[in-house]
Amino acid sequence: MFQIEEELKKLPAKPGVYLMHDKKDEIIYVGKAISLKNRVRQYFQKSRRVTPKIQRMIDRIAWFEYIVTDSELEALVLECNLIKEYSPRYNTMLKDGKSYPYVKATIQEAYPRLLFARQMKRDGNKYFGPFTSGKAIRDTIELVNQLFHLRNCNRVLPRDIGKERPCLYHQIGQCPAPCQGYISREDYEANFTRALKFLQGDTREVLGDLEEKMKEASLEMKFEEAASYRDLIRSVQAVTERQKITSEDQEDRDLVAMATSGDDAVVQVFFVRSGKIIGRDHYFLSGVEGEENAKILSDFLKQMYAGTPYIPKEIFLEEEVEDSQTILEWLSQKRGSKVYFRIPKRGQKEKLLELAKRNAVMVMMKDKNKLKEERAKTIGAMEEIQDLLQMPDIRRVESYDISNINGFETVGSMVVFEDGKPKKSDYRKFRIRTVTGPDDYGAMEEMLTRRFEHSKREGLSEFDAFAILPDILFMDGGKGQIHVAQKVLEELGLDIPVCGMVKDDHHRTRGLFVDEVEIPIDTHGQAFRLITRIQDETHRFAIEYHKQIRRKTQVHSVLDDIPLIGPSRRKALMRAFDSLEAIGQASLEDLLKLPEMNEKAAQSVLDFFAEKKDDKNGKS
């Protein structure tokens, strides 16, 4: 038995990370501390004033654990990793799992290329970005390849020079075909160096060259060629206009501003690279109610920069953040050089930060109703269900259904909703093994037994969907299904409430059935809509799995009857032909095109379907 008062006395006065657990062993909060002894004890001091959110968290703590680190910096890194891994419900959480793409210059290659890259890696190549738009990157790569005549193929050069004929890009004059040796390595590298200068913002030389070529083509009466140069000039100017100059110092920096409303926050970030704005984006955060701005910004910075490989030299903020020195030390280590927080008070940088702030407020105002509606549909609906059932702390719901046709290939589905949202990574399918015929009760008993016996296994990974027990079971059926579930749970020694979703004569949800009592539901409320979504999703998942099994079984059962056709040849036939009819109509030549088939096996297939056809004609 975990005695909180006794365990508090054992806490060390060392830096580390603490994890708060509820009675179901769910991690509900992760925090870091310079001194674990002082920080964790503060939560349980009755005289300490805390926000309502933190008080709700404290009321749910059943036990805690901690990990000692050598420094506060190590504790910060570990805290970031654990928050990302467990997504504790009482931590301020960044809702957007965004990653930003880059332009990758493969300078390690003999004939380098420009590629689209999702991540920046330490591979010796050069990266430009990050950019907020994948389309903008692809457009830029296409333009630069066209301007500087760079290759965009995957051939390994110089190994593959002369092995294949040049591609279409060479024929239309966009690629000098280094794959054929039509351009020297030195001349190609000169083109590539100019392309890199262009990507770094030096467009004057490129525009000058294009304008000169356009004039020459016009004088020589080559109007189509002049028009193509004109279009290229416009493309370069469009790229240049998108990169608005914000400063003369050519530094990389992010500008971060925030707006809050209730339990939600929006953080607006402007990305400035080499003194130019290359894009902006906004992030939604939840669970901020009662938190100081310094704490919200601190949590945001840790979560955002934990997920991006590029750290700018400067980060402009509206105010100081909590743990600023530790965060800066961590960011500097990630970047490999010093990172600075700046709080501008005047001038152009302050105006740009004010612009970011106005954008954050605008996004918050625009999306406030959407966020409110989303919360009402999910967490609000769950709270309504809690009130209906008079059961507090319902977070994870599991719902089950059985699908078969006259007992043929019976399957079951397990659907999971957490905080009112489907958690599809935890959905599971069951192929019923021990029940034959149309016995839904027996099938349900087998499925639930397998599911909950699995959860009692030792050494189960915390990422296994069966490792987490639900707060309640929703059964898509009447009293019989409920009693089956209760019987299974009782035999396994599990205390989990079971609730039936009752339907009317028109197959529409009308109420919940719990403890032998039907509870009516307001059909205009969010609880009704959520229960309907759970029902529909459970039914859909079971039906889709049954259709999938039925299709496979029907094809397999027929092909398995053909002499000389084993698993390998059966799979080959299914890959090569769309249906059984197509296999039956195939010729000997068609079948022999498959590497897995020989003449005897192919003839066996022909004979089998010819016999089937004769039998059918005889019956008719």
pLDDT digits (tens, 9 = 90+) for 531-587: 989 988 988 888 887 777 666 655 555 777 888 988 888 888 878 887 777 888 899
What pLDDT, on the 0 to 100 scale, is given for residue 576? Answer: 84
Q: Are 609 and 584 in contact (CB under 8 A)?
A: yes
Nearest to 151 by CA among 114, 198, 116: 114
Average pLDDT rounded to a whole number, residues 305-325 = 86
Residue 258's pLDDT band (boundaries 50, 70, 90)? very high
Q: Which amino acid is at 510?
A: R
Q: Are 305 and 100 in contact (CB under 8 A)?
A: no
pLDDT higher than 60, residue 45: yes
Helices (H), 316-390: 324-335, 347-375, 381-389
User: Residue 48: helix, strand or coil by DSSP?
Assistant: coil
User: Residue 340: helix, strand or coil by DSSP?
Assistant: strand
Whole-number Å distance between alpha carbons of 455 and 443: 19
What b/e string do you get for 291-303 counting C-beta neighbours within 10 Å, with b at 16 or more? bebebbbbbbbbb
What pLDDT, on the 0 to 100 scale, is given for residue 547? Answer: 75
Average pLDDT rounded to a whole number, residues 339-364 = 85
Residues 438-478 have pLDDT tens digits of 788 898 999 999 999 988 887 766 667 788 889 999 987 67
Phi-psi region of 576 (alpha: psi -120 to 50; beta: other; left: phi over 0): alpha
Give the pairing of strands 264-273 and 126-128: unpaired
Residue 362 makes CB contacts below 8 A (sequence gap 6+) with: none
Q: Are 299 and 264 in contact (CB under 8 A)?
A: no
What pLDDT, on the 0 to 100 scale, is given for residue 457? Answer: 82
Query: What DSSP line would sit under 452-495, residue for residue?
Result: HHHHT-TT--TTSGGGSPPSEEEESS-HHHHHHHHHHHHHTT--
415 pairs with which residues across the strands?
399
| Helix (H) / strand (E) containing 229 | helix 223-242
pTM confidence score: 0.50
Residues 473-518 have pLDDT tens digits of 998 767 888 999 999 999 999 999 999 888 777 667 778 888 888 8
